[in-house]
Structure 1
Amino acid sequence: MAKVLTVPTAALLLLLACCFAGVHCDDTPEVRRSLIAFLRELAGGDDQVARDLGWGVLVPPCGGGGVAGWKNVSCRPANDGRVRAVTLESNGARLNGTINATLLCAETAIRTLSLHGNALRGGIPADIWACKALTHLYVSGNQLSGSLPPSLAQLSQLQVLDVSGNDFSGEIPGDLSKLPGLVRFFANDNRLNGTIPDFNLDQLKSFTVSNNNLTGPVPKNAEKFGNQSFWPNAAGICGAPLFESCPPPPSKSPQQTGPLSPPPPSSGSGSGSGSGAEADDGHGNGKHKKRAVPKIVMYLGYVLLGVVILAFVLYKICSNKKKRSNKLGLKSKPSRGKGVYGSSRLTTTTTTTTSVTTPNKSAAYSIPTSAEHSVAATGAASAVAPPSTSLVVLRRSGTASPITSRAAAAAAKDLRFEDLLKSPAELLGRGRFGSSYKVVVPGGAALAVKRVKDAAVDEAAFRRRMERIGRAKHAAVLPPLAFYCAMQEKLVVYEFQSNGSLEKLLHGSIESSQGPLDWAARLHIAAKVADGMAFMHTTLSGSDGATSNNSPSSGDDAAATDGPIAHGNLKASNVLFTAGMDPCVSEYGVTSPAGGDAAALRGDVHAFGVLLLELLTGKATSARGDGAELARWVTSVIREEWTAEVFDRALLAGGGGDGSSEQRMVRLLQVAMRCVDASPGSPPPPTMREVAGMVNAIREEDDRSFSLEA
């Protein structure tokens, strides 16, 4: 009778078969079980996640021998069957468990762990130090709490650490600043306190600790990253030139010890009255005076220090009063100093039938609003606006979205229209559809305000559209925090993104140390933007029931706005980067036509194709053009069979120069050309959902072939 193989025997034979098939045996079933258990704990005990991703003990993680490997892992650059990277990003509430470093570090070859954009709880475990090969750790955008473990500093190979957008508290471990290879550190949007360790900022390429409760001096050369990397924080943060100079440490008087110290007064009785020091009318009296001199100097020092502190406090009080006195309608003079507050304010002016102009250059960036918020001649206060034209705050709960930081969500919770008008404003740029401003509201949160130029847009339709967009949340679409809608004025408020736009990053004008984007980064941006656009095109199709209860919901106009909503102005300058350098689409629906116009949706597809061409060629489109010139140039090059000449040289030189990568570049170029091709007789352009599917298929193939690390 044939002997029945037991499960361990079968597993061993399968493992041997894998070895003969070309899969290395360094990957053991024990390691696989640990990684599967690690994923199970991330998922809060749900085994379905592992099954959906194909993680199984009998399946080699890296594949081989005709067997598909695990999803969301990478085994490159080595080809020994061991997992180098685990990337479980943007799964939302599906990954709501905890991080178990003991299970993860059973695979000692792990170099990259990315858990960005989930709902993980707990903290970073102290035994993370066991992952000795770890070089990239991303846990941003979760619900992690507690303190950062000092054992992070034992990861001697660590290059990138991103803990932003969580609820961490306590101090930043001081030894993190001593890691020799650390080049990127993101700890913004937490509740960290204490002082900032003395990082060598000359070594770092990216650094931000903003939106915490940190105090004390900033590291040397902090101006390399600018004010936005350190502010807002606690009031005591200091260090020129970004903040007030730190006060000198209080001087200490030298202690009198040793043979020069005066002898204690005599306790015995003498012929005179009083103590021995008082009775000494010779050398003893001189010693008494000598001892009193240092004490007097010390007390005077304390008095002077107190006077300095008092003067500083009075100066700040007077300065704040002066700022508060600059009410609505008063034009502020440009600031001579440096800082985040800029040199102008969003102010209101009385609107009449004729244009109101002013020669005052200091108010060049003021935003005139409708007559419903007109200012009295004295400029002392604004008129009370009717409820129908007040600021509509979309995030009154104060909770942060996958993109919005806690600071911005908290600022939006109590945001008032008057806050925008009184706050200093800095012009960010002007475009066909209006101007953008950076505004720092009371409390220190930085917001971006888009002033919509097209005043002919129907007020009720605009209101419904903004409310619907505010409810449709996606990690790649920047949500509006609030909006203001009147007959001749429309403002939309977002959180300010300090890492700039794709336009600046692509074309070399961004004020940071970011190097040229490589192929993997550009493909990641393309996939994220495509996902966000496809989500918005389909979610806002009318099935979400997103009709405002506070707006008219009957009639043809209301029904028309229940259709899909196009972006209307997708371009590289409207693709912004979050604190974690993830792309997100800004100004969604601000300028799109009402009623789900099919032509506008096709226009989004065309604009996305132009965006792909910019990513692949590195060439900018004209400021007011639609990308037609770039598309014609690409078409002419392809027609001459010089396809390789299309691609940006920095793209090819950045690690994407092998044959397989170039093939995927060509495939992405074909997707772009399908989006922009409007020639007679050409097939209809794909939908954004179809485009997103094609781009993600290219990205998944790229992920299977290459490491996610640069």
Structure 2
Amino acid sequence: MGRTLAAAAAVLVVALLLCYSYEARGEETDDVKESLVEFLATLAGGGDAGQATARALGWDESVDPCPGATGNGNASKWGRQVVCFNNGDRNAGKIKAIDLQSQNLNGTIDASLLCAAPALRMVNLQNNSLTGGLPAGVSACAGLTHFFVDHNRLSGSLPSSLGQSRKLAVLDVSGNSFSGELPDSFRQIPGLVRFVANDNNFQGTIPDFNLPNFLSFNVSSNNLTGPIPKNVGTFGLSSFADNAAGMCGKPLFPECPPPPTPGNDGERKSKKTRKVFMYLGYVLLGCVIAGFVVYKLCSRKRKNKLGKKARGRRVKDTFDSSSDPTTMTTTVSKSVSAYSLPASSERSPTAAARGAPSASLVVLRRSGTGSVTSTAAAAAAKDLRFEDLLKSPAELLGRGRYGSSYKVVVPGGAALAVKRVKDATVTDDEFRRRMERVARARHPAVLPPLAFYCAAQEKLVVYEYQSSGSLHRLLHGSIESSQAPLDWPARLHIATKVAEGMAFMHSAMRGDGASSYASSTSSSVETVATAGEVAIAHGTLKSSNILFTTSMEPCISEYGVIAPPFVAGVSTGGSSRSSGLRADVRAFGVLLLELLTGKATAAQGDGSELARWVTSVIQEEWTAEVFDRALLSRDGAVNEQRMVRLLQVAMRCIDAAPGEAPPTMREVAGMVNAIRDEDDRSLSAEA
């Protein structure tokens, strides 16, 4: 009897396990399949035409969309517009994402049909001709994290019930005709990190979002007014531009006026009178300040004239960057350097007493090929006097973490770029050796220094001015820019050239007495680094330091100007002097992420926030969302595989896998070149 009961219990356990296994597989029910097919038919206009569209895309309620037990992973029998959960996931056998972008759909959105799929995470309906509004029932899609309805013909107001979508992380409603106010309830969505609502007709004020928690935010080109969120984080004017008059709030707009307080007519008149007297006081104070400034300027001009007549007098070199264009003035002394030109017949009395040469401009002699510098710029640098450089009109180009950059037009009309470095961590002698070594290495993708200047508190480096701008401006320029987005071939070309230039410089500057990297383009180095010399890294590789020549070829600027700090946590094989080279490899990885995503890094950051965002998206298996939409819309799936390969290179540069040595710049250049060669072969085959 006991054996019989044991056998029955075993049969029962097996039956329960089989039932559990079938339930765990989670196959979509017939109701879900019918609802989703009807949802697509409604998007396509309904009726027979809508059903025909559903059949044409392979959506059939009689077919299981996610046969998880077949081992096909996230492939769907309903076509590539449907993505299923992987077999190992607890939602295996259910639909994870619906991607119906650019399908010429002209119907409406029925949320009740969509939300019938309980495990659905992402819905993409962008670039269609959908009409009607955004239904409030979307909030019933409890698992929805990504919702794209941008670039359709939707109208009406956004439902405040979306604020109840606790898992919603990305909402893009841009490029429609939505109106009304932005619901304040959106501030209550805990995981919302991307809200894009530009190019609509929204009115009213902007809810006080906590923007430092956002990765993307844009409400430009609407009819919004009033204060912007108190803490705008890294978002600039382009996220709020082209709205109605009256937008306010620092630091992007004027300070908002205080709210009006009730009072009688007498109090209002008294306040108005006090304001009139207050403004008159401001005017008088302004006149006094202006007169004082004029007096000081005149006094300074007289002192400068007297200073020129006094021989042997030392005047500190200054950049007056308070206005644009800027003027730089100085008096310098004679240098005994073999590379410098005489600036004056006098030496500093203090320097003469010490028997030491005073600082002056050092012009670097250049010969041969491989330089991106024009003949005019080289000739101007050869004949350049320090007084001419510092007295020439200077236009401030920008300020950065380590100094400022200026455009200087010297006598003769040549345009030069002057990098002013503050608080340099290297001595004058070390800086001199560094610049001379960098100047001897020549590569077409590296902008060479023409001259430099060393002083106790600051250092200057002179380059040829590149009028075509930087990679940062091309990728993240203002919304008023007419520059077309960079396509995939252009971005891959930039990545290849920068990788080749950095690999060559690392090989020439690594300080082991050898130079082993040879690029596919003309490059040379007169004298390689000798054994025992410290390796020279770029130090500040970023998109604003990638400039373009007149032929739009990329070139690396400011190589070696900043002594990079030791990078904590970076494995360098026991050589601390290689930490700077490893930091360059990581910075190049961040540069690849900017090229692929189209997203800018924080102004004073190292790209960690962008790397974290990319990692989180990849972990959610939404790899396609990483890429810049300008790439996907122009090149589509044709280049997506190579984009993914370049993304893998970028992530390996930033964070090598456990147990895997970080790649060198030479290895990275080889990987990028392999992707470029594959892309070239693909283009040749298409032709």
Question: What TM-score, normalized by structure 1, do the two folds share?
Answer: 0.44
Q: Which protein has greater RCO, CA pairs closer than 8 Å, 6+ apart?
A: 1
